[in-house]
Amino acid sequence: MREPLSPDEQRRNFERSLASVLAGGGLTTGSGLDDETERALWAVADAHPQIPEELVRAARTAFEAQLDGSHAAARLAELTRRIEEINRR
């Protein structure tokens, strides 16, 4: 099993992925980016070649939420909610 990527490694991978989708390319697997960040990057790719700046900002915001743990916290909260709902039944 691989060691988790450091924030600096994740940032380099994000910037590389963003540059790729801005140029009309795609994403690579194993980048260490979470689903939310990848979805935001795919939205940029889908808009190529007329990419609104809002999509680039949204991708950067999504990546920052990955780094600060917001995405992981939201996934955990949703999982906890679902488990509690199942247990109530």
User: Of the candidates 26, 17, 20, which has an alpha carbon nearest to the alpha carbon of residue 66?
Assistant: 17
Whether residue 3 has pLDDT greater than 90: no
Burial 57-75 (b: 16+ CB within 10 A, else e): ebbeebbebbeeeebeeee
- Please write the tens of the pLDDT for every residue from 5-31: 999 999 999 999 999 999 999 999 889
Q: How confident is the model at residue 89 (pLDDT cuts 50, 70, 90)?
A: confident
Angstrom distance (rounded) from CA 77 to CA 54: 28
Apex 54 CA angle, 34 and 28, nearest 5: 35
Q: Which pTM value belongs to this model?
A: 0.88
pLDDT (tens digit per residue) in 19-66: 999 999 999 988 999 999 999 999 999 999 999 999 999 999 999 999
